[in-house]
């Protein structure tokens, strides 16, 4: 008996022609190339992408210890001097969703998702559920105290955090996130709240928003609320519109409120969509350079540096580079105001003296204005500081140095 693999059907002998052989040869070449290109992917252990550790936290506020899954970024064990963002989600089954999305959205240069430690309960815990229910019902604030005194400090004690913390929640946990924001606003920097169950909530969240939201401390924070028109969400749509309208109107300075409606999508898809959109917005200031025509850039290089100092110190708690914004401003002025452009890039190299990219940009500007000697000197610094970059940049910068040096030599002998 013959077994036929339908994916690669057997070609009858009489049907084999030169064209068939050519097609098979091309197919083999393509498969071979794909095999070579994917060696790194095939060699990667999936468990190494998202290593999970357990953290047990005991507290006088909870009647039994709570075990948490701590999902670490793939780089955690090798980059021992690096500190990471924290994302916390109360639902145990959110772990594989967050871990998978984070790995995919961060593995290409942490763009758009900066590397993050993800913490979720390992499983349902009755003792934790008890203080959770007490908070939801308005009977106690033990949950707030537990977060502030035990949960977050213990995570910070055991893992390298950079201070930026994200709370993620779906349905009831999203509604609790609104409560945490209002009642203990210093717990988290950002909130991803998908399909919050706001209608007839025991905490009367619409009233809390009306009286408390505008009085939150004036510091940067991000709040994303999303909803759909699915059958499960419909009963909460009116309350959602009321609460989000209040938040939009009453938001304190530096509080960004992002409202999304994912109508037409399935209920269980909501946290995936909410997380995707929110992560892009949360870290947009890290990845997106200021355009030269922006209000800040129009004020000059010092204003740009001041803006990024605010982002670093106040919004994120870790350094956010102003280099790309400075380079963009300099590029916009190089043709008509070359001296101004070069002054901007000189300031950039002073601010980031170890950056190969800063020195390369300044070298390119010198070369464009035909100051070949300074271009060579600056490009040598770019090559020196590129030693820790990937081979592409090392090769590219060395090629530019050779070009600049040859141009200088030719100019000198003329």
- Per DSSP, what are the bridge partners of residue 194? 170, 226
Residue with more model confidence, 158 or 10: 158
What element of type H or E holds 391? helix 391-413
pLDDT of 311 higher than 80: yes
Q: pLDDT digit string (tens) for 108-163?
A: 889 999 999 999 999 999 999 999 999 999 999 999 999 999 999 999 999 999 99
Single pTM value for the model: 0.86
User: pLDDT (tens digit, 9 = 90+) per residue, 235-257?
Assistant: 999 999 999 999 999 999 999 99
Predicted pLDDT of residue 10: 32
Q: 188-232 pLDDT, tens per residue?
A: 999 999 999 999 999 999 999 999 999 999 999 999 999 999 999
pLDDT value at residue 109: 86
Q: Is the per-residue pLDDT at 370 higher than 90? A: yes
pLDDT per residue over 29-74, tens digit each? 444 444 433 334 444 677 778 899 999 999 999 999 999 999 999 9
Q: What is the pLDDT of residue 80?
A: 95
Q: Per residue in 118-131, pLDDT tens?
A: 999 999 999 999 99
- Kindly report, residue by residue over 270-299, the tens digit of the pLDDT: 999 999 999 999 999 999 999 999 999 999
Q: Pick the residue with more confidence: 17 or 332? A: 332
pLDDT tens per residue across span 89-109: 999 999 999 999 999 999 988
- What would the 3-class secondary structure string for 113-168 be? CCCEEEEEECCCCHHHHHHHHHHHCCCCCHHHHHHHHHHHHHHHHHCCEEEEEEEE
Structural domains in the chain, CATH included, are 47-287 (3.40.50.1820), 297-413 (1.25.40.10)
Q: What is the pLDDT of residue 413?
A: 76
| C-beta of residue 241 within 8 angstroms of C-beta of residue 261 | no
Q: What is the 3-state secondary structure (H, E, C) of 343-369?
A: HHHHHHHHHCCCCHHHHHHHHHHHHHC
What number of residues does the chain have? 414
Q: Which residues pair with 224 in a beta bridge?
A: 192, 258
According to the model, what pLDDT value does residue 44 have? 63
């Amino acid at each position: 008996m013959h077994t036929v693999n339908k994916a690669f059907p057997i070609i009858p002998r009489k049907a084999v022609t030169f064209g068939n052989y050519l097609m098979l040869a091309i197919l083999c070449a393509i498969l071979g190339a794909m095999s070579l290109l994917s060696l790194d992917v095939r060699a990667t252990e999936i468990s190494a992408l998202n290593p999970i550790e357990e953290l047990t936290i005991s507290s006088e506020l909870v009647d039994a210890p709570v075990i948490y899954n701590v999902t670490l970024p793939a780089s955690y064990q090798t980059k021992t001097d690096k500190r990471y963002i924290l994302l916390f989600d109360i639902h145990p089954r959110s772990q594989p969703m967050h871990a998978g999305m984070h790995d995919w959205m961060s593995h290409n240069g942490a763009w758009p998702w900066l590397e993050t430690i993800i913490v979720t309960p390992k499983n349902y815990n009755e003792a934790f559920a008890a203080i959770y229910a007490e908070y939801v019902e308005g009977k106690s604030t033990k949950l707030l105290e537990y977060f502030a005194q035990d949960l977050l400090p213990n995570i910070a004690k055991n893992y390298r955090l950079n201070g930026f913390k994200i709370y993620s929640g779906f349905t009831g946990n999203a509604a609790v996130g609104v409560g945490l924001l209002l009642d203990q606003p210093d717990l988290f920097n950002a909130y991803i709240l998908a399909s919050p169950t706001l209608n007839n909530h025991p905490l009367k969240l619409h009233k809390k928003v009306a009286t408390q939201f505008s009085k939150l401390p004036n510091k940067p924070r991000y709040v994303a609320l999303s909803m759909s028109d699915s059958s499960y969400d419909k009963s909460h749509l009116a309350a959602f519109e009321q609460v989000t309208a209040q938040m939009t109107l009453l938001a304190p300075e530096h509080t960004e409120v992002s409202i999304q409606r994912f109508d037409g999508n399935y209920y269980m898809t909501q946290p995936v969509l909410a997380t995707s959109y929110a992560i892009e917005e949360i870290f947009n200031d890290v990845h997106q350079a200021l355009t030269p025509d922006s209000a800040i850039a129009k004020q000059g290089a010092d204003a740009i540096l001041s803006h990024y100092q605010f982002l670093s110190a106040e919004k994120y708690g870790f350094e956010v580079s102003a280099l790309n914004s400075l380079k963009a401003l300099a590029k916009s002025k190089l043709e008509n105001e070359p001296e101004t452009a070069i002054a901007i890039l000189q300031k950039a190299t002073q601010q980031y003296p170890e950056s190969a990219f800063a020195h390369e940009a300044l070298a390119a500007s010198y070369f464009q204005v035909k100051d070949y000697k300074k271009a060579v000197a600056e490009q040598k610094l770019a090559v020196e500081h590129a030693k820790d970059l990937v081979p592409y940049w090392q090769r590219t910068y060395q090629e530019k140095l050779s070009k600049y040096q040859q141009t200088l030599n030719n100019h000198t002998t003329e």
